[in-house]
Structure 1
């Protein structure tokens, strides 16, 4: 009859301790994977999203080189984002954007610049009554266009939320003090076609001003 050999006391309980250590190490490694790959660990699918490829200033007329398509988890992808870079090209950026920032619909306007092919909009060049105000404008800003009160006619708003497409360079040969109160550089405003016609016609007979939004 065979008898089991006695297990030395120093070896008793060692397999259980090794198993517990192995399980703890497995849990630790699993947690690290979840931190490094949150989308894969949580099962959150990514969605193609158009973002800015670099830092872009307000008023940028977007081209293919300004855009990049990346995958973003659905839970962080903002509403109004798009996965089609072609739908963003040729539009104007209203506000500055950092590199990697998703470009949503509220940050973009159809830039009515000659050659963009937007049949619903037009670009109208105007000179404002005050050169100093014109020099404050930047591409991408929204303004309301106001016809000044003249010859018994009250001031009236000709257009709301017009987009500044471009501002001509001021005449630097004339001192700023002398330019104040005089007509300043040409300002290109992007407007719906019907309203742009009205603004252009009014600018021929009345002084124009803008209020900043």
Structure 2
């Protein structure tokens, strides 16, 4: 029996607005993550791989313009605009003495043959560049050979002995003198025998240019007027 004045009370759970909806949202999100976990893992892997590739990819190489041979060119060629081209090359592939403009090269003459695509430097042209890399004090000395056909047997870089052959008359004993030993050939005329830039208006058959020391240059200068000059090809190794 209930006592007078007492009321029966029953505890009820307290609910807050929005609590159920937040719980439902968390449940749906967890379920979505479980369903898409492989996709998410793949996306994370791709992002990590892209970051690694970006870190390992080298920066683009700096390039420089350089004048190159537009085709195969023979030694002695007087260069025209059609023989030359300008190409962007990596810095490591451009020599310090390379030309950057065709205007600086056109009209000059090659000291030796060039393959298509080779960079043109001062060492490839007639002039002071012939002595690039030669020992200090070297001199470029032109000599005229008694047998012009010998020129066909040599190329720039070939080492030769220069021999002077003299005699007092037809019936006299021929004397041979070694004027220069193991000197490198720097230049020879083109196949047609003409060199418009080296000696304008003169035939250059039998004319070659060698690198010599100061002492050898004194012996070679004017030697062709004292007798006949011959080359002896030697082993360059």
Normalised TM-score (structure 2): 0.53
Instruction: Sort the Cα spacing of 1:14 and 1:162 in 2 relative to 1 into closer, same or farther, 3 A.
Output: closer
How many residue pairs align between the two structures?
177
Q: Indicate conservation of the 8 Å contact 1:147/1:158, yes or no.
A: no
Pair member with larger Rg = 2
Aligned to 1:98: 115
Q: Following the alignment from structure 1 to structure 2, what is the Cα–Cα distance between the partners of residues 188 and 61?
A: 17
Deviation at residue 54 of structure 1 after TM alignment: 1.8
Residues 1-20 of structure 1: per-residue CA shift (max 9 Å, x gap): 32223415751524532422
The secondary structure found in structure 1 opposite 2:110 is strand
CA RMSD in angstroms comes to 4.4
Tell me, yes or no, if the aligned pair for 1:148 and 1:154 is still in contact at 8 Å.
yes
Change (3 A) 1:135 1:47: closer
SS at match of 1:75: helix
Structure 2 unaligned segments of length 5 or more: list them. Answer: 1-18, 129-139, 169-173, 194-203
Gaps of 5+ in 1: 35-40, 112-120, 170-184
- Match of 1:23, SS? helix
For residue 49 of structure 1, what is the aligned residue in structure 2?
66
Out of 35, 38, 46, the position equivalent to 1:11 is 35
The one of 88, 97, 104 equivalent to 1:80 is 97
Q: 1 or 2, which has the higher strand percentage?
A: 1
Q: Does 1:110 find its partner at 2:127?
A: yes
Is 1:20 the equivalent of 2:41? no
Counterpart for residue 78 of structure 2: 61
